[in-house]
Structures are given as structure tokens and as C-alpha cells.
């Protein structure tokens, strides 16, 4: 296998070093174009995320691929020659395939099992397709990697459970309510984490949001800000995880993608008005910076007690905003920051337990991939082609045997053999003509086409 | 026919045991949580065929022996659960439902052969009205059983959330609201079925001329049926008029089911 993966990631380098080599904006596309123009690499793909910058490429004869790539990156970023390459890793052949499968499955991610990486890998593949640096092998490899990622998501619990406080708030809400669609949310305070949690809930379909703050203008600004979500916030929330697990949410997200502005009813109120509104909401997120409790007192307690609905209060403020006594009300579920941290820690620990299952999936797919790759050699394909026709010939003779006299049997066999040889002549001559000068990708594509055309792969091998 | 019946009688508990294991795997290992069980319709058909065959063998519907009724309850619970699973696409509660179904069918299979003598058959009916009455009552008990299971799960889930017990059940149970809604629908169905059953029972009482004292079994049936109706009606009235929340309905459903189950077992034992 002539595939190589070269990269730098959070495993090998600190953020300061990674930043120097990252390829944000159109730099990844420019690198791919430069590599294409050079003509040294036959196929290439650049994956650039917050935690990794990697280049996957197919090259038959590369003496110093790392030096070659770093030279390009240095020129692109206007850096001096890069002498220290200790932070970079190089995987060749099946090790490179294993690596891309592990990346797609989320095993190499900083938070093991996060699903964002699969989307980023798809985006990287799209870019490479646009530039025209992917051909037969890379196409096959990437689609195989996407399948590994999907299997890891669907067949294991690797990405299950929240890995951030904001996500934990959504997870808790999903334990209480069958759907968040149409539920009312009250955000008390204008803290960043609270707003992020409210954004996550809004994107799960909550219908009405009330923002309470000491300053009513600030409350209005926060309420308006909930409608949009920047890419960093989307990544921090890991909302895809929740969406992937919930078909209803998935449908909702298809109609309203994560980063698209969402519409809902919003209302800005002052903290003094909270007791008047608290009885009509399903979820309350407290995130003020107030030194004293905000959600306390007889009026609040009475309003909540009178409410016939279950109310989830997520208090992520320190010092706490919600009076712990509220938890004594039968319809109130009060969770503070420690509870949420406990939930996050437990989820991250349980993700680690799923790693062996994902590794088994990767081993399984690697075995299939290797079988497929081995099938792309010219000589075994010619042998298989001959065997295939020989079997057809034998089966036909056996089937038609009764229609011919014994004396004609030999002639029948000679005739059919000759016919098969004539049919096979051109395909075999074509396969033999695929010389070493033909690019690997073209040769493999031709072999793959012949195998598919003559049905040489079993149904289970066809991808 | 007798050999086939005996074979099916012992195969059914094994089948339900297999379902308990299958749903146990879903519950504990969190696999296939949203997939429908393809074996369920086959088991329902097999069970229905068994009861039909038994009806042919007895010469009347297999409803008039306590242990036959347990088997019918097992079947109707499975059928109702299958419908719920198809609609809700959630099989995380199956373990709890099939534990009850298994116990009902196991008890039925163990005692059925001993209670199959003609003399022990409940002389309830040869008439169509009485068959309707019994079938509808069976569905009512099934609905109450399901309401009880969902109610109990709701209470357990609620207790866990209140205690911030983020453990096994936190991950594996469906949301509290889903359990509450399932319990509500089941108890609503229970009220409808039991009302029809009571109405047909009252009509039969008018039309039948009694000679001598009423048999104890019939008195027990009337008492248990009335209690079941009161339980369902109070939960429905409480939720609709008194604005009870899901938890209160769940308490009534779970407690009511427990009480009715104890009374049914006691009446079977006494008869």
C-alpha cells in the first residue's frame, strides 16, 4: 500500500506548536493545489481541525515525504525551514489506514468519541474532491473510513453522554421530558455557560425562552443572541451527539441546521419579575454572578408548587442561585454544577469502556479493507478470471450433457474452452498491459472495474 | 393434539424467558434500544394458536379456568406491548413487562394440566355475552398490569432523578414524561375496558335467574372487577378533574395493580 499519513496532533504537540502548522481558511486548499501542481503525489487530502493537522497521500516513490510536505507548509505560511520534526508522526501502508479509521471513529479525538471529527473528515474529503487530488484509492479509503465512523456511532456507546456542562443540561432535560419541543425555558442571568446551555436547548426545539437579568437591556441582548450559534459554540456543545441519538431531533436539525438562526418566542424580564413567570416554565437555567440566591423565597416556592408540571432547574452558578430547599418540592428536579460535573466525568469514563468495542470494529474493517486491496493485484485477478470462466464452462457442459451424444462431448468441451479463451483474451491482455508506468490509482481502478464487471468478488466483498 | 398442547404449554414459558433475556440484554447493555423485536409477532401467533387449539380441545373458549386466564393475560400483555413498541420505537421497558408475562405464563403452564379437568372449569358461560364480558375484562386487567409496570418505572425513575442518582437506571430508562404518558394511556384503556366489562356483567345479572346463593368465585370476580374499575376511574378523574400530575397517577396505577394482583392470586388460591 502506498498510502502515507503525516501529521501533528494534541497527542504529540501543545497548542502553540499545532497553531504554527495549522492550515485554517483556504490554506488547506492552497496546499492541495500546490501538491497537485508539483505532480509528485498521486492523491492527497488535508485534514485540519483544532486538534490536528494531517495530510494523507498516495505516492509510489517518495524518499522524504515529511521534508517535502513541511517544505510546502513552510512556504505557504512564510516560515523558515522546519528543522525540528519531533512533533510529527508518519504512518505508512496499513498503519496509515488504521490511523484514518481511528480518527474517523473518534478514538484519536481529545474527547474520545466526539462525532464532530467525522463531519470534519467529510469536509476535508469534499475539499480534496473539489481540488481534484482524490482518485480511486483515496475515494475508497475515505468512504471506508466514513463507514467505520458511522459503525462506531451506531453500534457502540462511544459518543454517548454529555462531555460538557452545557451538554449535560440537555442530557438531564432529555431524562425528564420526552421531547424538548415546545417546552419553556427560563435563563436566569447572562453568564456565558448558561447562555450556551440555553442555546443547546433552543436548538433542541424548545418553544419559548425567557431571559431574566438585573439589567433588562442586557437580557434583551442575550435573548437575541440565543438565535445564532457560531462554529466554536457548536463544537463546544457537541450537539451532533444528541441529534444522532434522537430521530426527532435529527429531523428537526435537518430542517434547521445547527449554525442556522432559529426562531422561537423570547421575552426579557428583570430578576424581580422571576416569581411571576417561574410557574409557567419547564426548564430553568441559573447562571448569574450574584452573591446571593436569586431563586428563593416564598413566592418562588409557591409558584413552583402550584405548577402541575415537572420543572428541571439547572443551577450552574457559583455561588448557587437556586435555594436547595426547592428540591423538596415533588415536581422540582434541582441540579447544581457539581451534579453536572459528576455526570460529565461519568460519561467520559464510560466512553473509555467502549474503546475496545470500537477497536474491534476497526480490526474487522481493516481486515476487509486489506482483502479488498489484495484483490487489486493483476496476476491474482487474471488467475481468478480464468478460474471463473472455467467454472462457467464446466457448469454449462454438465447442464447440457444429455443433449449431446457421448462422441460429441469432447468436441463440445473443446468448443466451449476455445470460446472462453477468445472472450478472455482482451480482458487479460488489457490487465497485462497495466505496466508499472501506469499510476497505481489507474491500475487499481482498472482491476477493480474488471473484477466488478465479471463478478469476481463475492457479494460480501463488494463495497 | 394432547402431545402438541403439552409441548406448546412448556415451550411458551421458554419463549417468554428468551424474551426476558433478550430485553435484559437491551436494558443492561444498551443495545438495540430503538429497534422493534421481530420475534414478537411470531410468539404472539404461536401463543394465539396454542389457545385456539386448547379451545378446540376443551370445547369452549379457554377463558374459564384461572390458569387459562393467566395465559390469556400473558398473550394480551404481549400483544399490547408489541403495539406500544411499534409506535414508541423504544424497547427499554420490555424487560419489566416480559418478567410479568413470563411469570404469568409459567404459573399457567405449571398448573394448567392439573386444573384442566372438566369439573374444575369455571361454569361461567356458554353464551356470547359472557364471552365478551370475560375477554373485555381480560383486556382491562392487562391494561392495568401495563399501567402498573409503567407507573412503577416512572416512580423509580423519578426517585433516581430526585436523589441525583446518576447510575444504571438513569441511562437505561426512557424519559420520565414518556413513562408517565404510557402509564396514563394504559390506565385510560383499563377504565374503558373495565367499564364495558362491568356493564356486560350487570346486564347478565339482570338476565340470569339465580337459584341459591351466588358462588364465592363470582363474588370474588365482582369485588376485584369493581376495585379495578375504581382504581382506573379515580386515576382518570384525578388527572382530568383534580389535575393530578403523572407521579400521582403512577402511584395509583402501581399500587392498584399490586392490590389487584394480590387479590387475583388469593381468589385463585381459595378457589
**Is B175 an 8 Å CB contact of chain A?**
yes
Residues in A whose CB is inside 8 Å of some CB of B read 157, 160-161, 174-178, 247, 308-310, 327, 330-331, 333, 335, 339, 342-343, 346
Instruction: Quickly state the pLDDT bin for B196 (edges 50, 70, 90).
Output: very high
Q: Is the pLDDT of residue A242 over 50?
A: no
The per-residue pLDDT for A462 is 42
- Cβ distance of B170 and A176 shorter than 8 Å: no
Global pTM value: 0.64
**Is B245 an 8 Å CB contact of chain A?**
yes
Q: What are the grid coordinates assigned to B180, written together?
A: 408517565
Which of the pair, B172 or B118, is modelled with greater confidence? Answer: B172
A264: left (phi over 0), alpha (psi -120 to 50) or beta: beta
Q: Is the pLDDT of residue B60 over 90?
A: no
Kindly list the strands in the beta sheet with A43-48, ordered across the sheet, starting from the edge strand earlier in the chain.
Answer: A43-48, A52-58, A3-9, A89-92
Chain B: residue whose CA lies nearest to A173: B175
Cα–Cα–Cα angle for B269, B75, B12, nearest 5°?
A: 80
- Cβ distance of A335 and B166 shorter than 8 Å: no
Instruction: For residue range B9-28, list pLDDT tens digits in order.
Output: 889 999 999 999 999 988 88
Which whole number is the average pLDDT over A398-404? 82
Instruction: For residue range A23-50, list pLDDT tens digits in order.
Output: 887 889 999 999 999 888 889 999 998 7
Exposure b/e, B197-220, CB count within 10 A at least 16 = b:
bbebbeebeeeeeeeeeeeebeeb
The pair phi, psi for residue A6, each rounded to 5°, is -125, 135
- Partner-chain residue, chosen from A177, A247, A346, that has the shortest CB–CB distance to B177: A177
Probe site for chain A from B166, B179, B183 (most A CB atoms < 10 A): B166
Separation in Å, CA of A331 to nearest CA in chain B: 8
Contact A41, A55 (CB under 8 A): no
Instruction: Quickly state the pLDDT bin for A221 (edges 50, 70, 90).
Output: confident
Mean pLDDT of chain A: 82
Instruction: Quickly state the pLDDT bin for A126 (edges 50, 70, 90).
Output: very high
Instruction: For residue range A250-280, list pLDDT tens digits in order.
Output: 444 454 444 455 566 788 899 889 999 998 8
- Cβ distance of B245 and A174 shorter than 8 Å: no
Closest CA to A268 of A312, A313, A208: A208
CB contacts, 8 Å: B166 with chain A: 339, 342-343, 346
Q: How much is the ipTM here?
A: 0.71
Q: Is the pLDDT of residue A111 over 80?
A: no
The pair phi, psi for residue A205, each rounded to 5°, is 100, 10
Separation in Å, CA of A243 to nearest CA in chain B: 15
Q: Is the pLDDT of residue B137 over 90?
A: no
- Cβ distance of A308 and B161 shorter than 8 Å: no
Contact B148, B256 (CB under 8 A): yes
Instruction: Quickly state the pLDDT bin for B128 (edges 50, 70, 90).
Output: low
Instruction: For residue range A55-99, list pLDDT tens digits in order.
Output: 999 886 777 888 889 999 988 888 877 778 889 999 998 999 999
- Cβ distance of A308 and B178 shorter than 8 Å: no
Which whole number is the average pLDDT over A327-352? 86
Amino acid at each position: 500500500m502506498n498510502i502515507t499519513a503525516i501529521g501533528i496532533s494534541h497527542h504529540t504537540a501543545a497548542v502553540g506548536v499545532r497553531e504554527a502548522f495549522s492550515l485554517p481558511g483556504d490554506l488547506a486548499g492552497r496546499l492541495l493545489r500546490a501538491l497537485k501542481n508539483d505532480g509528485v503525489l498521486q492523491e492527497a487530502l488535508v485534514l485540519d481541525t483544532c486538534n490536528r493537522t494531517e495530510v494523507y497521500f498516495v505516492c509510489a516513490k517518495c524518499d522524504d515525504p515529511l521534508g517535502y510536505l513541511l517544505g510546502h507548509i513552510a512556504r505557504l505560511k512564510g516560515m523558515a525551514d522546519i528543522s525540528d520534526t519531533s512533533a510529527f508522526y508518519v504512518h505508512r501502508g496499513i498503519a496509515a489506514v488504521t490511523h484514518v479509521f481511528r480518527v474517523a471513529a473518534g478514538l484519536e479525538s481529545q474527547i474520545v468519541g466526539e462525532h464532530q471529527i467525522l463531519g470534519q473528515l467529510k469536509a476535508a474529503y469534499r475539499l480534496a474532491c473539489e481540488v481534484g487530488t482524490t482518485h480511486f484509492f483515496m475515494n475508497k479509503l475515505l468512504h471506508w473510513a466514513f463507514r467505520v465512523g458511522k459503525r462506531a456511532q451506531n453500534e457502540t456507546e462511544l459518543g454517548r453522554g454529555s462531555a460538557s456542562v452545557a451538554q449535560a443540561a440537555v442530557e438531564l432535560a432529555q431524562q425528564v421530558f420526552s421531547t424538548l419541543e415546545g417546552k419553556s425555558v427560563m435563563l436566569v442571568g447572562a453568564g456565558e455557560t448558561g447562555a450556551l446551555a440555553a442555546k443547546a436547548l433552543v436548538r433542541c426545539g424548545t418553544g419559548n425562552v425567557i431571559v431574566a437579568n438585573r439589567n433588562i437591556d442586557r437580557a434583551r441582548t442575550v435573548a437575541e443572541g440565543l438565535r445564532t450559534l457560531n462554529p466554536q459554540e457548536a463544537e463546544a456543545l457537541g450537539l451532533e451527539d444528541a441529534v444522532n441519538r434522537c430521530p426527532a431531533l435529527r429531523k428537526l436539525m435537518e430542517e434547521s441546521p445547527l449554525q442556522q438562526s432559529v426562531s422561537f418566542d423570547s421575552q426579557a424580564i428583570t430578576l424581580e419579575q422571576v416569581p411571576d413567570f417561574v410557574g409557567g416554565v419547564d426548564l430553568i437555567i441559573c447562571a448569574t454572578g450574584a452573591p446571593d440566591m436569586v431563586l428563593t423565597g416564598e413566592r418562588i416556592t409557591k409558584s413552583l408548587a402550584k405548577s402541575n408540571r415537572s420543572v428541571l432547574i439547572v443551577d450552574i452558578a457559583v455561588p448557587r442561585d437556586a435555594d436547595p430547599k426547592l428540591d423538596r418540592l415533588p415536581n422540582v428536579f434541582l441540579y447544581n454544577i457539581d451534579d453536572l460535573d459528576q455526570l460529565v466525568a461519568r460519561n467520559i469514563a464510560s466512553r473509555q469502556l467502549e474503546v475496545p468495542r470500537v477497536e474491534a470494529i476497526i480490526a474487522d474493517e481493516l481486515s476487509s479493507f486489506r482483502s479488498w486491496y489484495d484483490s487489486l493485484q493483476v496476476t491474482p485477478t487474471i488467475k481468478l478470471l480464468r478460474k471463473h470462466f472455467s467454472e462457467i464452462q464446466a457448469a454449462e457442459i454438465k447442464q447440457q450433457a444429455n443433449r449431446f451424444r457421448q462422441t460429441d462431448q469432447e468436441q463440445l468441451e473443446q468448443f466451449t474452452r476455445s470460446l472462453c479463451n477468445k472472450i478472455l483474451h482482451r480482458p487479460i491482455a488489457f490487465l497485462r498491459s497495466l505496466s508499472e508506468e501506469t499510476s497505481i490509482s489507474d491500475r487499481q481502478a482498472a482491476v477493480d472495474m474488471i473484477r466488478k464487471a465479471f463478478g469476481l468478488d463475492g457479494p460480501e466483498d463488494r463495497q | 393434539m394432547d402431545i402438541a398442547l403439552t409441548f406448546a404449554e412448556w415451550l411458551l414459558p421458554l419463549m417468554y424467558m428468551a424474551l426476558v433475556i433478550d430485553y435484559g440484554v437491551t436494558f443492561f447493555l444498551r443495545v438495540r434500544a430503538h429497534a422493534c423485536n421481530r420475534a414478537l409477532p411470531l410468539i404472539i401467533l404461536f401463543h394465539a394458536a396454542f389457545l385456539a387449539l386448547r379451545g378446540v380441545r376443551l370445547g369452549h373458549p379457554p377463558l374459564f379456568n384461572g390458569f387459562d386466564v393467566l395465559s390469556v393475560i400473558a398473550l394480551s400483555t404481549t400483544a399490547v406491548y408489541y403495539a406500544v413498541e411499534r409506535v414508541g420505537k423504544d424497547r427499554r421497558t420490555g424487560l419489566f413487562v416480559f418478567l410479568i408475562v413470563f411469570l404469568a405464563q409459567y404459573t399457567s403452564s405449571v398448573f394448567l394440566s392439573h386444573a384442566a379437568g372438566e369439573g374444575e372449569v369455571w361454569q361461567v358461560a356458554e353464551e356470547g355475552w359472557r364471552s365478551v364480558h370475560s375477554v373485555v375484562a381480560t383486556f382491562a386487567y392487562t391494561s392495568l398490569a401495563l399501567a402498573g409496570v409503567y407507573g412503577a418505572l416512572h416512580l423509580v425513575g423519578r426517585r433516581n432523578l430526585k436523589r441525583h442518582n446518576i447510575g444504571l437506571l438513569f441511562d437505561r430508562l426512557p424519559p420520565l414524561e414518556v413513562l408517565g404518558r404510557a402509564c396514563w394511556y394504559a390506565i385510560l384503556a383499563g377504565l374503558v375496558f373495565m367499564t364495558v366489562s362491568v356493564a356486560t356483567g350487570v346486564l347478565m345479572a339482570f338476565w340470569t335467574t339465580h337459584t341459591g346463593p351466588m358462588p364465592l368465585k363470582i363474588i370474588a370476580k365482582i369485588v376485584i372487577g369493581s376495585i379495578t374499575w375504581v382504581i382506573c376511574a379515580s386515576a382518570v378523574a384525578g388527572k382530568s378533574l383534580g389535575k393530578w400530575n403523572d407521579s400521582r397517577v403512577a402511584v395509583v396505577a402501581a399500587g392498584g395493580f399490586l392490590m389487584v394482583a394480590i387479590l387475583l392470586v388469593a381468589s385463585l388460591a381459595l378457589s
